[in-house]
């Protein structure tokens, strides 16, 4: 997967900021870093952030090269995605996360999926009622060793399960980038490295 690099920080926009300098990035802010825990356990914690990107979606059938690139290793690694979920219609939404190793997700601070367990190739499905509009979303993932994957799908009311499209999530609401560039479709924007 190619990477469009944007060197800079996203800074909050004040009420007096010029409209041309504001932008919301499709996708989710992704913070990559180390993770620690007991192999086979559920006591994993995410460590300090090494890289922050905008991932277009959570659809990674093989995260190993990405973890190597952004955390420095393929074991004991973690990712936290945050942003805004734009819900088009009020109703019952079903989410499914398929992953290797642990994962969990909240919407508006409420747990929707919680599989913070060191196992592999597991699909967890949950249904939640959402009102039309914007909702805060946070998802976390940890990798112990071996294969690594994270794939989030959803089924809006009356629809079939599909990959959660980047068009329904945005990162950095109310922020501005000094370069005002959008990533080509399907690419990650690199925001900062620590």
Give the residue carrying structure tokens 């300098």: 21
Measured CA to CA in angstroms, residue 10 lies from 90, 174, 192 at distances of: 31, 9, 9
Q: What is the reported pLDDT for 26?
A: 87
Q: Return d(Cα 137, Cα 32) in angstroms, integer.
A: 17
For residues 51 and 185, give the distance between their C-alpha atoms in angstroms, rounded to a whole number: 21
| Phi and psi at residue 29, to the nearest 5° | -65, 130
Domain boundaries, the chain: 24-39+49-179
pLDDT score at 40: 83
Neighbour count for residue 71 (Cβ, 10 Å)? 23
Q: Give residue 102's pLDDT.
A: 95
Task: Name the pairing type of β-strands 133-143 and 45-46.
Answer: unpaired
pLDDT tens across the length of the chain (194 residues): 232 223 233 333 222 232 333 456 789 999 999 999 998 888 999 999 999 989 999 999 999 999 999 999 999 999 999 999 999 999 999 999 999 999 999 999 999 999 999 999 999 999 999 999 999 999 999 999 999 999 999 999 999 999 998 889 988 554 333 322 333 444 444 444 44
Token duo for residue 177: 């980038």
* pLDDT value at residue 171: 85
Q: How far apart are CA 111 and CA 108, in angstroms?
A: 9
- 24-39+49-179 maps to which CATH number? 3.90.182.10
What b/e sequence results for 141-162 when a residue is b if at least 16 CB atoms lie within 10 Å of its CB, and e otherwise? bbbbeeebbbbbbbbbeeeeee
């Amino acid at each position: 997967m190619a990477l469009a690099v944007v060197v800079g920080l996203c800074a909050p926009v004040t009420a007096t900021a010029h409209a041309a300098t504001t932008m919301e990035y499709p996708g989710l802010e992704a913070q990559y870093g180390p993770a620690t825990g007991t192999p086979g356990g559920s006591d994993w914690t995410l460590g300090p952030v090494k890289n922050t990107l905008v991932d277009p979606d959570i659809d990674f059938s093989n995260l190993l090269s990405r973890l190597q690139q952004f955390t420095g290793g393929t074991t004991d690694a973690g990712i936290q995605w945050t942003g805004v979920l734009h819900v088009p219609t009020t109703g019952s939404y079903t989410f499914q996360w398929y992953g290797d190793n642990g994962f969990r997700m909240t919407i508006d601070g409420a747990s929707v999926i919680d599989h913070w367990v060191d196992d592999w190739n597991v699909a967890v499905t949950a249904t939640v009622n959402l009102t039309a509009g914007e909702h805060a979303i946070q998802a976390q993932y940890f990798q112990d060793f071996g294969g690594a994957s994270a794939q989030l799908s959803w089924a809006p009311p009356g629809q079939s399960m599909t990959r959660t499209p980047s068009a329904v999530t945005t990162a950095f609401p109310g922020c501005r980038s000094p370069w005002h560039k959008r990533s080509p479709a399907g690419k990650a924007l690199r925001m900062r490295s620590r």
